[in-house]
Amino acid sequence: MPKSWVNLTAGLGADLHLDLTGPGGRRAVLARALRDAVRSGRLAPGTRLPPYRSLAADLGIARNTVADAYAELVAEGWLSARQGSGTRVAHRAEPLAPTRAPAPPVPAARPTHTLLQGQPDAASFPRTAWLAAARRALTAAPHEAFGPGDPRGRPELRRALADYLARTRGVRTDPDRIVICSGFAHALRLLFPAVLPDPLAVESYGLAFHRALLATAGVRTHPLAIDEHGACTGELTAHDDVGAALLTPAHQFPTGVPLHPDRRAEAVNWARATGGYLIEDDYDGEFRYDRRPVGALQGLDPERVLHIGSVSKSLSPALRLGWMVLPARLVDAVLAVKGEREAWAGVTDQLTLAEFLTHGAYDRHIRRMRQRYRRRRDRLIEAVAAHAPQLAVTGIAAGLHAVVEFPGDSAAAEEDSALRAARWQGLALDGLASYRHPEATMPPRHGLVVGHATPSESAFPAALAALCRALPAAP
Q: How, if at all, do strands 402-406 and 392-394 pair?
A: antiparallel
Task: Tell me what pLDDT residue 84 has.
Answer: 67
Task: Tell me what pLDDT residue 405 has.
Answer: 94
User: Is 364-470 the same fold as 126-361?
Assistant: no
Task: Tell me what pLDDT residue 6 has.
Answer: 53
Task: Tell me what pLDDT residue 109 has.
Answer: 60
Structural domain spans, the chain: 5-108, 126-361, 364-470
Query: Other CB atoms closer than 10 Å to residue 36's CB: what's the count?
Result: 13
| pTM across the whole model | 0.76
- Please say whether the beta carbons of 336 and 347 come within 8 A: no
- The fold of the 126-361 domain, in CATH, is Aspartate Aminotransferase; domain 2 (3.40.640)
> Which CATH number describes the domain made up of 5-108?
1.10.10.10
How do residues 375-385 score in pLDDT, each as one tens digit? 999 999 999 99
Q: How far is CA 290 from CA 20, 218, 374, 452, 464, in A?
A: 53, 40, 9, 17, 22
Residues of the chain with pLDDT under 50: 1-2, 9-14, 93-108
How far is residue 207's CA from residue 212's CA, in Å, rounded to a whole number? Answer: 9
Task: Tell me what pLDDT residue 92 has.
Answer: 58
Share of residues in the chain with pLDDT > 90 (%):
65
Which homologous superfamily is 364-470 in?
Answer: Aspartate Aminotransferase, domain 1 (3.90.1150.10)
Q: How far is CA 209 from CA 19, 161, 205, 216, in A?
A: 43, 27, 12, 11
Output b/e per residue, 55-66; b: 16+ Cβ within 10 A. bbebbebebbbb
Q: What residues does 80 pair with on adjacent strands? A: 88
First vs last C-alpha separation in the chain: 22
Output b/e per residue, 423-449; b: 16+ Cβ within 10 A. bbbbbbbbbbbebbbeebeeeebbbbb
Nearest to 48 by CA among 77, 76, 13: 13
